[in-house]
Chains A and B, each alone.
Chain A
Amino acid sequence: MTRQRPRGSPFKLGEAIAGYTFLAPFLAVMALFTAWPLLQALWLSFHSYDLFSPARWVGLDNYSYLLTQGDFWISIRNTALYTAVVVAAQTVLAIVLALIMDQSIRGKTFFRVAFFLPSVTSSVAISLIFMFIFFKNGVLNQALAWLHLEPLFGWGGLGTPVDWLGDVKTALWAIMAQNVWSTAGFFMIVFLAGLQDIPESLYEAARVDGANPAQQFRHITLPLLRPTTFYVVTMGLIGCFQVFDQVYVMTEGGPLKATLTTAYLLYKEAFVNFNMGYACAIAFVLATIIFAITMVQKRVMGE
């Protein structure tokens, strides 16, 4: 081990002071609005607190109640299913759209804008529109009837159309479809940017070697898109685990908890039932799950 310059030499110290001085405004804001509330929430998660009476220390009670309570597990199951389906679907759809948009087709700019638009639209507005689409006498059912596709969904003839958001079996899937639709466009743009970064010379070399388009996609495009894919999947995971607004607007967790997600359960416990301590415990478990999954994913994708 080589001997380093003694710690705290005037030069180093001066540099550090200057650096932290420049960082100070940001650090102060972050400490005040991120670190402090986080610590406060952690502290609260060990208390029973309804906002009106003083917080009472309960140790790990909130956490043990959470593990034994049915609603939490229902919400985890719903959220996990939701995340798995939505992340997979939106990533695949985004890649496909990006590949199509990368070709020289007519009206490319129009389609790019059209696909991107949902991601700059308020999710509440989109949710309201999708409620009309999913109503029993809504656009979706009318379109299905017009295409004579009713038998696919077990109705038709004298049967009744599906009440997409009111049926336990379909409600979560309806919200998934809405979310895939609204986020795929944004990730398409991300993939498009990734595609532009792949040097044309690689494809040229592959063509010279006789690789067909499928082989080019498999051995050049996909591997070189890996950083982009990592970003898209991570952002998708985080977004899906926190899904709230769609559930809040469209179903309020119903019917019969079929769309009860962890973030919605957290909101309900905090701002409807005023179990602040319990809600904080849910928040920390949710954050831990997201963190763990991101770590696993980082390992798997070899970042």
Chain B
Amino acid sequence: MALLAAACRQGGAGDTSRTVIRFSGYAGNPAETDLMKKLVADFNAGQKEIKAVYEPVPGQYYPKLLTMLVSKTAPDVFYLDILYFEPFLAKGIMRPLDDFMAKSRLDRGVFIPSLIDAFSDDGKTYGIPKDFNALGLFYNKEAFEREHLAPPDATWTLDKLRDTAKALTKKYPSGHQQYGFALTHDNIDRYLPVARGFGAELFDAKGACAMARPPARDAMAYYSGLKLQDKAAIYPSEVGSNWTGDAFGRQAAAMVFEGGWLIPYLADSFPKVPYGVAELPRGPAGRSNFLFTVAYVIPTTSKQPEAAWKLIEFLTSEQAQRQVTFALPSRKAISARYAAARPEYKAILAGADYAQPYEFGPKGDRIKDRLGVAVQEVFLGAKEPARALADACEEIDRITKL
């Protein structure tokens, strides 16, 4: 054992003068992991003081991260989803970055305000956003042409979506079974934007769960009706997919609400599917969307926060952000240029304008799960929408007070 350790030390002899820092993120999409590997290599080649080691985590990122944080073995820099910002803040995990930002003359203003604000609290900045995404209505151009339907545009409403989904649900003589829409039936990821389009709010002014009220109920009836009454929608698992984007790629569904991450996925796995992207349809109460964003943060347990900051500074620099292909960069200037060069991102960037961050407070992860159960109860016929939502709200109020 000692011998092995000695051998290892010898192997890295050239780096002994360098400060070693560890950097972790989830290994979600291959394009992202590859870019991170490249960026970290660039960072290491660009200077001689710090050596960053990239340790992507496949699956179960947050349980692993929390366990590492507790055992004081957490990486010096890691990804933090907006969903976990408040839960982590409540536990006092992150180190404020304002001093570092001041020293490096990094101005908050270069980032899209809604993103950097999302990772700030009480005048302190705890994370530098790396990129962001929002949902768009992806539609299969060929499917629309086959049925002589006009493609979705800015005038679309949720009712129009429903009618079109019905018209697109068809079994073709070739044996190809096509559904109008693919949705998620065991979480709130597509239901909540619809519900907000109906005018629903997660919490009222007093902080009580407001999802048992009429707008949320009507939205649930609408959303589940796509599948249960119209039979015009499917869950991804029904066609052997594990997410709606994959069902869209397989052409089992002609329309889906998906994030910008579907664009590189289609290019890689389903290059022949002709698709377009429109804004999410308007609900009776207006438009809604989710803002998904991730930041780089430094935990208070890190022993080399200065070196960690250097890495963050590099990863969020213009030069690094220009290489992002799977999401929209968080710097204002680059993001605008990015979307201009890629028209398929236009609708997604437009959606980000009025999108609400994908976060639900200090107990957000549990609240999201509990509301997801209500969606599933309705879809599996265990409860009526009103009952399912009332039960969920009752428990959410309890979780909030915990």
Bound pair (A, B):
yes
Contact between A255 and B376 (Cβ–Cβ < 8 Å)?
yes
> Nearest chain-B residue to A257 (Cβ)?
B373
Min C-beta distance of B239 to chain A, whole Å: 6
- Asked whether B109 is an interface residue with its Cβ less than 8 Å from the other chain, the reply is no
Contacts of B376 in A (CB 8 A): 254-256
- Asked whether B70 is an interface residue with its Cβ less than 8 Å from the other chain, the reply is yes
- Asked whether A43 is an interface residue with its Cβ less than 8 Å from the other chain, the reply is no
Contacts of B319 in A (CB 8 A): none
Contacts of A256 in B (CB 8 A): 373, 376-377, 380, 382
Contacts of B69 in A (CB 8 A): 52
A-B contacts, 27 of them at CB < 8 A, read: A51-B66, A52-B92, A52-B93, A135-B237, A136-B238, A136-B240, A137-B238, A137-B239, A137-B240, A138-B240, A163-B235, A163-B237, A163-B238, A166-B237, A168-B380, A168-B382, A254-B186, A254-B376, A255-B186, A255-B376, A256-B376, A256-B380, A256-B382, A271-B66, A272-B63, A273-B366, A274-B66
- Asked whether B269 is an interface residue with its Cβ less than 8 Å from the other chain, the reply is no
> Nearest chain-B residue to A166 (Cβ)?
B237
Contacts of A272 in B (CB 8 A): 63
Contact between A136 and B377 (Cβ–Cβ < 8 Å)?
no
Q: Once bound together, how far apart are the Cα atoms of A221 and B237, in whole Å?
A: 47
Q: Which of B68-109 contact A (CB under 8 A)?
A: 69-70, 91-93
Q: Which of B357-388 contact A (CB under 8 A)?
A: 366, 373, 376-377, 380, 382
Q: Which of A137-164 contact B (CB under 8 A)?
A: 137-138, 163
Size category of the binding interface on chain B? 20 to 34
Q: Once bound together, how far apart are the Cα atoms of A121 and B94, in whole Å?
A: 42
Contact between A52 and B91 (Cβ–Cβ < 8 Å)?
yes
Contact between B70 and A136 (Cβ–Cβ < 8 Å)?
no
> Nearest chain-B residue to A135 (Cβ)?
B240
Q: Once bound together, how far apart are the Cα atoms of A272 and B66, in whole Å?
A: 9
Q: Which of B233-247 contact A (CB under 8 A)?
A: 235, 237-240
Q: Which of A81-111 contact B (CB under 8 A)?
A: none
Known contacts A135-B237, A136-B237, A163-B238; decide if A271 and B63 are in contact (CB<8 Å): yes
Min C-beta distance of A143 to chain B, whole Å: 15
Min C-beta distance of A257 to chain B, whole Å: 8
Interface size on A, residues (CB 8 A): 19
- Asked whether A132 is an interface residue with its Cβ less than 8 Å from the other chain, the reply is yes
Min C-beta distance of B89 to chain A, whole Å: 12
Contacts of A136 in B (CB 8 A): 237-240
Min C-beta distance of B238 to chain A, whole Å: 4
Contact between B235 and A52 (Cβ–Cβ < 8 Å)?
no
With A132-B240, A163-B238 known, 16 other A-B pairs at CB within 8 A are: A51-B66, A51-B70, A52-B91, A135-B238, A135-B240, A136-B238, A137-B238, A137-B239, A138-B240, A166-B237, A254-B376, A256-B373, A256-B382, A271-B66, A271-B67, A272-B63
Min C-beta distance of A188 to chain B, whole Å: 32
Contacts of B373 in A (CB 8 A): 256
- The SS class assigned to the A binding surface is loop
Contact between A255 and B238 (Cβ–Cβ < 8 Å)?
no
Leading 10 A-B pairs by shortest Cβ distance: A51-B70, A136-B238, A271-B63, A135-B240, A52-B91, A166-B237, A137-B240, A256-B382, A168-B380, A255-B380
Enumerate chain A interface residues (CB-CB to B < 8 A): 51-52, 132, 135-138, 163, 165-168, 254-256, 271-274
Q: Once bound together, how far apart are the Cα atoms of A91 and B366, in whole Å?
A: 40
Min C-beta distance of A97 to chain B, whole Å: 32
Min C-beta distance of B124 to chain A, whole Å: 19
Min C-beta distance of A291 to chain B, whole Å: 29
Our pick among A51, A137, A166, A168 for the contact of B235 (Cβ within 8 Å) is: A166
Contacts of B380 in A (CB 8 A): 167-168, 255-256
Q: Once bound together, how far apart are the Cα atoms of A254 and B186, in whole Å?
A: 9
Min C-beta distance of A166 to chain B, whole Å: 6
Min C-beta distance of A267 to chain B, whole Å: 9
Min C-beta distance of A212 to chain B, whole Å: 51
Contacts of A135 in B (CB 8 A): 237-238, 240
Contacts of B63 in A (CB 8 A): 271-272
Min C-beta distance of A248 to chain B, whole Å: 10
Q: Once bound together, how far apart are the Cα atoms of A255 and B382, in whole Å?
A: 11
Contact between B70 and A52 (Cβ–Cβ < 8 Å)?
yes
Contacts of B91 in A (CB 8 A): 52
> Nearest chain-A residue to B381 (Cβ)?
A168
> Nearest chain-B residue to A258 (Cβ)?
B380
> Nearest chain-A residue to B60 (Cβ)?
A271
> Nearest chain-B residue to A50 (Cβ)?
B91
Q: Once bound together, how far apart are the Cα atoms of A137 and B91, in whole Å?
A: 44
Contacts of B240 in A (CB 8 A): 132, 135-138
> Nearest chain-A residue to B91 (Cβ)?
A52
Q: Once bound together, how far apart are the Cα atoms of A254 and B235, in whole Å?
A: 15
Q: Once bound together, how far apart are the Cα atoms of A186 and B186, in whole Å?
A: 36
Min C-beta distance of A247 to chain B, whole Å: 15
> Nearest chain-B residue to A274 (Cβ)?
B66
Contacts of A163 in B (CB 8 A): 235, 237-238
Min C-beta distance of B59 to chain A, whole Å: 11
Contacts of B377 in A (CB 8 A): 256
Contacts of B93 in A (CB 8 A): 52
Min C-beta distance of A184 to chain B, whole Å: 27
Min C-beta distance of B363 to chain A, whole Å: 10
Q: Once bound together, how far apart are the Cα atoms of A166 and B184, in whole Å?
A: 12
> Nearest chain-B residue to A53 (Cβ)?
B91
> Nearest chain-B residue to A163 (Cβ)?
B238
Q: Once bound together, how far apart are the Cα atoms of A138 and B168, in whole Å?
A: 24
Min C-beta distance of B63 to chain A, whole Å: 4
Contacts of B366 in A (CB 8 A): 273
Min C-beta distance of B129 to chain A, whole Å: 25
Contacts of B235 in A (CB 8 A): 163, 166
Min C-beta distance of B317 to chain A, whole Å: 33
Q: Which of B41-73 contact A (CB under 8 A)?
A: 63, 66-67, 69-70
Min C-beta distance of A131 to chain B, whole Å: 9
